[in-house]
Amino acid sequence: MKKTALITGATSGIGRATAHEFAKHGIDLILCGRRQERLDIVQKALSRETDVHTLNFDVRDKDNTFEAINSLPDKFKNIDILINNAGNAHGLDPIETGSTDDWDAMMDINVKGLLYVSKAIIPGMTERKSGHIINIGSSAGKEVYPKGNVYCASKHAVLAITEGMRIDLNPYGIKVSAVNPGLVETEFSQVRFKGGQQADNVYKGYKALQPEDVAEVIHFAISRPSHVNLADILMFCTAQASSTIVKKEI
């Protein structure tokens, strides 16, 4: 039977690549993000392969998040797979000079937004006693790096929430996994550095992971047999050994 997946942050990077990967495998898609014009483009591209519905909401807005998910048409109401991907780093500053607006954005989007979306979707999964939640963490959720303070804290929280979900949802047979990439070449650094040269330099001198590399791993995780759950996946590009060690050619 065809499955339905809801992907947050489907307008760019890892989320968009995951939408493309899932469409190839005939999974029906609910694509979420704030930029409707981008959602429309992805929907148009993928509608040839599968059924696609878009939802436009900011995960920071609790009421809008619940309204959007509760408004899903019957065909898309039973969500089998949730990809909690929406998120970003905002700033790269030592703790003593970091911006409280950046801190709010990271905790509100990466942590609380993930919780709101999950809270809206989990009751359907517990009722049906099935489902798979994949939370996109980060190598930053396993290792704190200089000036990463609050972003790393938000991703450490994602890993703790993932473990907590897996324990609490275990009686219902719901799988919960974390996929934790290192450096992936997306709009991530444009957002972190608010555009500019610093953002362009992040992926220079080595081959970073591409969003499609992560999407393939996410699809591998959701396509294992029902008795197999890949609980926690850490993936780096070959040039990266840890959060701070990257072999660059220039």
Residues near ligand 8X3 (CB under 6 A): 138-140, 148, 182-183, 243
Query: What, of ligand NDP, ligand 8X3, none, does residue 20 touch, CB below 5 to 8 Å by kind?
Result: none
Active-site annotation holder among 116, 155, 175, 203? 155
Alpha-carbon separation of residue 205 from 95, 136, 139, 240 (angstroms): 28, 26, 20, 12
Q: Please report whether residue 138 would count as binding ligand NDP according to CB under 6 A.
A: yes
As a whole number of angstroms, the longest Cα–Cα distance in the chain is: 54
Binding partner of residue 43 among ligand 8X3, ligand NDP, none, CB under 5 to 8 Å per kind? Answer: none
How far apart are alpha carbons 239 and 177 in whole angstroms?
Answer: 25
Residue type, 157: A
- Tell me how many degrees the CA angle 209-194-46 measures, rounded to the nearest 5: 50
Compare residues 131 and 148 and give the one whose CB is closer to ligand 8X3: 148
Residue 27 lies near ligand NDP (rule: CB under 6 A): no
CB of 184 to ligand 8X3, least distance (A): 7
Active site residue 151: yes
Rounded CA separation 32/123 (Å): 19
Catalytic residue, chosen from 116, 151, 175, 203, is: 151
Residue 83 or residue 174: which is nearer to ligand NDP going by CB?
83
At residue 181, the 3 state secondary structure works out as strand
Which residue is closest to ligand 8X3 by CB?
138
To the query of whether residue 129 is one of the catalytic residues in this protein, the response is: no
Distance between CA 135 and CA 119 in Å, rounded? Answer: 13
Closer residue to ligand 8X3, CB minimum distance, 11 or 154:
154
88 near ligand NDP, judged by CB under 6 A:
yes
Shortest distance in whole angstroms from residue 31 CB to ligand NDP: 9
Residue 145, Cα to own-chain centre: how many angstroms?
Answer: 21
Place of tokens 């919780």: 115
Coil vs helix vs strand at 151: helix
Query: Judged by CB, which is closer to ligand NDP: 38, or 128?
Result: 38
Please name the helix (run of DSSP H) or strand (run of DSSP E) that holds residue 120, with its range, or none: helix 114-128
Q: What is the CA radius of gyration of the chain?
A: 17
Site membership for ligand NDP, residue 148 (CB under 6 A): no
* Catalytic residue set: 151, 155
Binding residues for ligand NDP, rule: CB under 6 A, are 8-15, 33-35, 38, 58-60, 85-88, 109, 136, 138, 181, 183-184, 186-188, 191, 211
